[in-house]
Homo-oligomer: A and B are copies of this chain.
């Protein structure tokens, strides 16, 4: 079983073929003692794949990955793979503020045969130069030292205050053409995303919003990695499949409408509240500090607002 998922070390394999489509950043359920509820987590992963996800961007921001210990992040990934979800459908976040911890998580993920990893910039320091970010990414890649590594830069300046600038992205692609193969852009900055798409054809760019998916696909994007793909993946998949068809605009409007309703409630608590309401599981509401769960009133409001859109 493991042989099927793992490519031989040192050989580029099918797992590094271009990633595309809809990859939900899987939200992480917690028990009352704040430990990860693995059974519910695996069930959620399976449902997302059954409902149309091409793969799973586990351990991202929406997953509260940076509220998990390093060891928990490794264990979670092992549990997902042990549950039979193919490594080829996994794109975990492996960022950490230090080179060593980021390399450790990345090496571990590559060892499990994942399709690729999403790398945040080192998000403690502010006002960091492109030179420093280039050195950081280069060190991580060098320490992982595995040709199977497919690295997707994770751009989220609202959280990190740092940007993988278009020039820096180009420099990294040039230095590591078989490794630095894509980028998830959570900035919402359309001009930034379009700059990447026009400068680096073939580089796999994922906006973080289904509201941007149609226009982004027209410019060559690879798909999207969106918080609300946790709750509305079927709609987003239909848009992805139909973006060149006659229904494209209608599919876009349907997907964008649900997202617009969710946004004011805060992505992470809101996504969990929707899953809680749908499954009738109050436990789904729980988040780890410093985040705060929605209260029941807000949850009811949110579900009421989503009702005309099918929930």
Contact = CB atoms under 8 A, between A and B. Distances in A.
Interface of A: 34, 61, 66-72, 97-101, 104, 121-126, 128-129, 131-133, 135-136, 138-139, 158-159, 161, 288-292
Contacts of A135: 289-290, 292
Contacts of A288: 98-99
A160 B128 CA distance: 14
Given A34-B139, A138-B289, 14 more contacts: A66-B98, A67-B122, A68-B100, A69-B101, A70-B101, A71-B100, A97-B97, A98-B288, A123-B123, A126-B158, A126-B159, A128-B291, A133-B289, A136-B289
Contacts of A291: 125, 128, 132
B126 A124 contact: no
B66 A129 contact: no
Contacts of A97: 66-67, 97
A159 B125 contact: yes
B290 A128 contact: yes
B123 A292 contact: no
Given A66-B124, A159-B124, A132 B292 contact: yes
Contacts of A289: 99, 122, 132-133, 135-136, 138-139
Given A100-B72, A159-B126, A290 B133 contact: yes
9 interchain residue pairs of minimum CB distance:
A69-B100, A132-B290, A135-B289, A66-B124, A136-B289, A128-B290, A66-B97, A136-B290, A132-B292
A95 to B, nearest CB: 9
A99 B67 contact: yes
Contacts of A123: 123-124
Q: Which of A70, A98, A159, A288 has the most CB of B within 10 A?
A: A98
A67 B290 CA distance: 22
29 contacts: A34-B99, A34-B139, A66-B124, A67-B97, A67-B98, A67-B99, A67-B122, A68-B100, A69-B104, A70-B70, A70-B101, A71-B100, A72-B100, A97-B97, A99-B289, A123-B123, A123-B124, A125-B291, A126-B158, A128-B290, A128-B291, A129-B290, A132-B290, A133-B289, A135-B290, A136-B289, A136-B290, A139-B289, A161-B161
